[in-house]
Structure 1
Amino acid sequence: MTAPTNGWVGPSKRWGKGEFWGLSSDYDPDWGLSERQKRLRDDLIEVCRLKIRPHAVHCDQTYDNTSYKIVSHVHCDQMYDNSQHEIVPKAYCDQTYDNTSHDIVPQVHYDQTYDNRQHEIVPQVHCDQTYDNISHDFVLQVHSMHLAATSVLLLRHHGNKHITDLLQRLDKERLVGTLSYSDPATGGHFWFPLSSKSRFVDEHSIKLLKYGSWATSAGCADWYAIQTVSPEFKRNYADTTCFLIYKDEIRANTDDWQALGMHGNQSGPMIVEGTFSTDRLIGPYGDGIRSNDECVDPFFLLCSSACWSGIALACIDLTKKHVTRKAHADMGMRVCDYPTIQVGLGGLGGLVGLPHHTGGCWGTSGTCGTTPPYRWHRNLDHLPRTAFLSWLQQLRLRAASNVEEVSKMMLHAAGGSGYKTDLGLERLLRDGLAGWVMAPSNEVLRQAIGKMSLLGPDAVDYLEQKVDERKIHHELGKMSVTQKKKLVEQLSAEVALEESGTCPNHPHQDQDFEKCDLVEFRGPCGGFEYVPRSLAVLTILASGGGITPGLQLIRSIMEDAEDTTRVKLVYYSDNYDEILYREELDGYAVRDERLSIDHTLGEVPENWEEGEGFIDTALLNAAVDRTVPSHKHKIVLCGGPTMVVSCLHSLRSLGVSSDQIFVYGQFGAEQMRLVFGPFVKLATHRSDLVL
């Protein structure tokens, strides 16, 4: 540190043997770091320079997952040993660390006794000083998810020997964890696990099924904290439970995940299916919402805010490097000498600095008393971090908004050189834009923050449990007398069904049998069973690979010349090349008038004369024959959750009866109940209506 006559100058940053070419410590200070953490930061900078950055371009271009092993190794050796100890109690670690505040201090800030730890170290080192997306995607996101997952374990490790054993092995075996909370049917609303099931097998084991649409390190992490609906689920999505799952117990595939931003980060969908012992429970049944509010949200919101602030600073660093070296010979000026560049950079420094340093302030805001924080949660209702969620949501929104603005402005400031891949701005811009949409997206956060600020914290109905009576009365005012009478009939039928407490498909279930009675069963049966000549019309709505079960039905009918059932296929594909079995399907349609096909594409080629766009209400209105009695017309849906839920809403708006519709897949019943209501009458699995 030097103190020249013209003012104070902070300690210089190093890049290898030379001085760092980006922002100095005057505008990216490290005064919130302890001496140990400064050494950690310096070590991380060197690791990023020597080991991580050399793999950045290769992984960015090839999506190569072999680099995960390299980066996770670096993550363990350089970050894990030093920073994890501020989360995991000393008793569970086999190495020493400085006990700055208590035996356990989440590095992210949230025990409210620490200063600017995670916020300063991670962005500065991984993004700000390496200017490559691979350091952001692998090290920062992998480490952030590991910290959040570890906090979930720590929240409820008391009295659970299995979880305690894992915590004790984290250091020794270099075990990396992650979270799986997303759902393919609810998008960025990750708190709504529609595509999950759980039930008791016996008092010591639980059967789980979960489909996660996105998980960082899917298939690469060693252990996973997941969330599903609780075993005795009664259609209340506030009733969720967390479980611990290991790498060899999931199915994941990241090879085909290629998207704008976050190249090669080994993230993607994952499936958990199997029977697990009850010691895999993370906390009691129904504890999922408390875990979300106390661990998952606080850690992810702050870590992701640090991430986006780090990328924004990296953009400024790269631009500074370029504009201080690039000169215009005709003007005798460097690019940095132009006032417009100076004004632009000066404004952005403050823009980035606000969330960048606000995150660190959480560490010094308040105290946690005299009790070590890892003992806080022996009391299940003591949730001190939850009170800060609204602040963290604002921080996350600001950081994600800033990185978008900063990355675009720095691209402009760098001129044509900014578009060259060698400079690195293009990759940072791409990754920065991912911050806007990463759940919860900026749109979701802005609406939630605005609504809560105007109407109070209870105004946002995350779990769809509160009735908006104002909106109901407004919509009722638009209805005619005839429409109101029809609505009264529908509501009266639903009320009678709910009050009876019976299932519309099996009204006498659990009522007719005595202990030791004998019952005959047939099965197991899967999917939809077609009985020849039992229907007048079979409508199949399919998308992508979902055509396969529909194709089996079509083949069965086409092979039976005496079957008079008419088949209507509405088939969506993203593009022409992704239409599966086209030759076979079109061949049936040409030879047999019983089959008619409506193809529709997301991207149409030249001279395409058939449908364009997703399967929407207008298309279904034309395709679905509603003149046929409902017991003679079955509608079968074969596709992903987005397509299924969208089509169900359209079919309901067209007045199609729920018991006409059969949805393929493990979560078909849940999707039907989500759209038609919890006590909806479901279709039978047979076309002849036999239960």
Structure 2
Amino acid sequence: MVKISVMEKEKQQQGIMEIPQWWTCPEGHEELQKAAHVLGEKELLPRALVSDQERKYPRESLREVAKAGYSAVTIPVEAGGLEDGFTAFAVLSEVFAQYCPSTTMCWVMHMTTAHTIYEAGTEEQRQRLLPRLQAGHVGGLAFSEKATGGHFWNVGSEAKRNESGYSLDAEKSFVTSGGEADFYLVATTSPETNDPDNLMFLLVENDQKGVEAFPFDAMGLRGNASGPMNFKEVQVSLENRIGGEGGMGYFNDNTIDPLFLLGSAACWVGIAQGALNMAINGAKRTVHADTGSSVADYQVIRHELAKAQIKIDSARSMLYRTAEAMDRCQKEGRELSECLYPLWQLKTHAADMVIDVTNAALQVSGGRGYMTGQVEKFVRDGRAGAIMGPTNEVLREWVGRTLIEVPWLD
């Protein structure tokens, strides 16, 4: 009986085109991708709708990601990272987003925090802080300010030097994991520095006096607690200044922007694939009683699915090509800012693509897709990409200025 079933299955499979694995996963990362899918399906997906509907921070999911060993994958292997860490980061981000985008965006910001501490911090700071992150503590970035909007690299707040370190006064507009992270890397300025670049990074614990977080109520990514935060006369010791008293613009271009753009673009690719997967499964299962045909039996539906997948794969190809280039830069001791131009294109394309694909997934899913659930959530979550700073309009301007050979940031 078993032999007949196997033979019948093989017969049914004849003529079905297999999608090459190399097309959907960079070579050498197949097992990592499989492990990420297992983790996503087991730990992230069951909590995703609750996180969205109750605006609940996905702390349990983040703990499971940390337990799996994915809390600092981009730092060097000898410090606890993974081989080809930027490509691994992209693979994990894409897969995780297929199950819970809120968890993924919190993790992307956490990863960027960890990498910045490694790159800009002292050896003492690495030894003190990275083990906390690897043990499950969450790090966050506090950069954006209301006065400068999506131009998060322009910071107006300041931290004045005093006998004990610095007194920080800052009002931040969007802080992922705001009020939930264990500590934050706060971008501010130093009025005392002699460096023409007065940008400075200070590490602030969540429970310090003067730290205040506000609720986050948004269209999508409802679980990631990206609300405003105030830092009122927060005393920061000298040992918690990450990098110099000024001069941190270098790390914006060579650490923070590259990781954030890569990780967020991977998130938009994952959201699009997750939404399309839901639409495909629904189209195959849903049968019209009056015709006896499934939704997937209609040619127009198959064409919409094909167009959506081609868009996803175009962004995925850019994603992994860029991630692999970043790994080469790191191995060869070159600066990651060399990859900013493709990263601008990647983020813009992925954020535009996810809007198109999630809309198509909703249309294919029909009335069921419009009801509160995974497809509807993917539509809302994916819409954040194009307006998340640097916005797509800003990035297109930088690409355009580069094409006509004028300074991109004026």
Same fold (TM over 0.5): yes
Correspondence list, 1:214-233, <5 A:
214-232=174-192
TM-superposed CA distance for 1:444, in Å, is 1.8
Whether 1:441 and 2:391 are equivalent positions in the alignment is yes
The letter for the 1-side match of 2:88 is R
SS of corresponding position for 2:180: coil
Q: Is the 8 A contact 1:244 1:282 kept in 2?
A: yes
**2:25 aligns to what?**
30
Question: CA–CA distance in 2 between the matches of 1:127 and 1:241?
Answer: 31
The answer on whether the counterparts of 1:33 and 1:120 sit within 8 Å (CA) in structure 2 is no
**Displacement, 1:232?**
1.7
- Give the 5 Å matches for 1:168-183: 168-171=131-134, 173-183=135-145
Distance change >3 Å, CA 445–CA 85, structure 1 → 2: closer
Q: Aligned partners of 1:185 and 1:325: how far apart in 2?
A: 50
Structure 1 residue aligned with 2:310: 350
Amino acid at match of 1:73: R
Residue 659 (structure 1) aligns with: none
1:261-302 deviations in Å (ceiling 9; x for gaps): 111322211122322222222112222210100111000000
Q: Aligned pair 1:387/2:365, yes or no?
A: no
Aligned CA distance change for structure 1 residues 452 and 372 (closer, same or farther; 3 Å): closer
Q: Give the number of equivalent residue pairs.
A: 398
Out of 89, 92, 97, the residue aligned to residue 127 of structure 1 is: 97
2:243 alignment partner, SS class: coil
Partner residue of 1:141 out of 105, 114, 119: 105
Query: 1:337 Cα deviation (Å)?
Result: 1.4
1:174-199 deviation per Cα after TM superposition (whole angstroms, max 9, x unaligned): 222111110011111101111x1122
Q: Which residue of 1 aligns with 2:117?
A: 153
Match of 1:285 in 2: 245
Task: Provide the residue aligned with 2:158 in structure 1.
Answer: 197
Q: Separation in 2 of the partners of 1:212 and 1:340? A: 47
Q: Check if 1:430 corresponds to 2:380.
A: yes
The answer to whether 1:362 aligns with 2:322 is yes
Q: Which residue of the partner structure matches residue 265 of structure 1?
A: 224
CA distance in 2, matches of 1:317, 1:181: 34
> Which amino acid is 2:219 matched to?
L
Q: Please state if 1:304 is matched with 2:264.
A: yes
Match of 1:612 in 2: none
- Give the 3 Å change call, closer, same or farther, for CA 367–339 of structure 1 in structure 2: closer
Measure how far apart 1:26 and its partner are.
Answer: 5.7
Tell me, yes or no, if the aligned pair for 1:40 and 1:82 is still in contact at 8 Å. no
Match of 2:364 among 413, 435, 443: 413
Provide the secondary structure at the position in 1 that maps to 2:242: coil
Change (3 A) 1:441 1:290: same
Q: Deviations over 1:193-237 (max 9, x none)?
A: 11x1122213x622221211111111211121111112326997x
- Does the residue aligned with 1:362 lie in a helix, a strand or coil? helix
What do the CA deviations read for 1:628-680 (whole angstroms, capped 9, x no partner)?
A: xxxxxxxxxxxxxxxxxxxxxxxxxxxxxxxxxxxxxxxxxxxxxxxxxxxxx
Give the CA deviation at 1:40.
Answer: 2.6
Instruction: Report the equivalent of 2:206.
Output: 247
2:47 corresponds to 1:55: yes
Taking the aligned partners of 1:459 and 1:305, their CA distance within structure 2 comes to 21
One of 277, 280, 284 as aligned partner of 1:317 = 277
Measure the CA separation in 2 of the matches of 1:449 and 1:143. 28
Counterpart secondary structure, 1:327? coil
Q: Secondary structure of the residue that 1:179 maps to in structure 2?
A: strand
Residues 8-87 of structure 1 mapped to structure 2, 5 A cutoff: 9=18, 29-30=24-25, 32-34=27-29, 36-38=31-33, 40-48=35-43, 52-65=44-57, 68-78=58-68, 81-82=69-70, 84-87=72-75
**CA separation in 1, counterparts of 2:323 and 2:223?**
33
SS of 1:333's partner is coil
CA 1:85–1:356: 2 relative to 1, 3 Å:
closer
Within 2, Cα distance between the matches of 1:83 and 1:198? 29
- Measured in 2, the distance between the counterparts of 1:306 and 1:209 equals 34
Aligned: 1:164 with 2:127: yes
Q: Which structure's CA Rg is the greater one?
A: 1
Q: Which residue of 1 aligns with 2:4?
A: none
TM superposition shift of 1:38: 4.1
Show structure 1 runs of 5+ residues with no match.
11-24, 110-115, 377-382, 462-691
How far off is 1:459 after superposition? Answer: 4.3
Cα 1:449–1:405 change in 2 (3 A) is same
Q: Distance in 1 between matches of 2:29 and 2:224?
A: 31
Kindly indicate which of the two structures has a greater share of residues assigned to helix. Answer: 2
State whether residues 146 and 176 of structure 1, in contact with CA within 8 Å, keep that contact through their aligned partners in structure 2. Answer: yes
Query: How far apart, CA to CA, are the structure 2 residues paired with 1:297 and 1:146?
Result: 13
CA distance in structure 2 between the partners assigned to 1:212 and 1:406 by the alignment: 32
Deviations 1:567-623 (A, max 9, x none): xxxxxxxxxxxxxxxxxxxxxxxxxxxxxxxxxxxxxxxxxxxxxxxxxxxxxxxxx
Instruction: From 241, 250, 254, give the equivalent of 1:294.
Output: 254
Calculate percent identity across the aligned residue pairs: 27
Distance 2:14 2:54 in 1: 51
Describe the shift of the 1:319–1:224 C-alpha distance in structure 2 as closer, same or farther (beyond 3 A): same
Structure 1 CA distance for aligned equivalents of residues 71 and 235 of structure 2: 34
Query: Per-residue deviation at 1:330?
Result: 3.0
Equivalent residues of 2:71, 2:136 under 8 A apart: no
Q: Cα 1:38–1:353, aligned 2, differ >3 Å: closer, same or farther?
A: closer
**Code of the aligned partner of 2:341:** S
Mapped partners of 1:197, 1:253: distance in 2: 19
**2:114–2:133 Cα contact (<8 Å) kept:** no
Q: Report the counterpart of residue 170 of structure 2 in structure 1.
A: 210
C-alpha distance in 2, partners of 1:211/1:282?
19
Question: In 2, Cα distance between the equivalents of 1:452 and 1:313?
Answer: 31
Task: State the SS of the aligned residue for 2:179.
Answer: coil
For residues 173 and 195 of structure 2, the distance between their equivalents in structure 1, rounded to whole angstroms, comes to: 21
TM-superposed CA distance for 1:145, in Å, is 0.6
CA distance in 2, matches of 1:74, 1:277: 32
Q: Which amino acid aligns with 1:45?
A: G
Which residue identity is paired with 2:145? Answer: D
Deviation at 1:5, TM superposition (A): 5.9
State the Cα RMSD in Å: 2.8
TM-score calculated relative to the size of structure 2? 0.88
Q: Which residue identity lines up with residue 94 of structure 2 in the other structure?
A: P
The answer to which structure, 1 or 2, has the higher relative contact order (CA under 8 A, 6+ apart) is: 2
Which amino acid in the other structure matches residue 349 of structure 2? R
Q: Distance in 1 between matches of 2:45 and 2:312?
A: 24
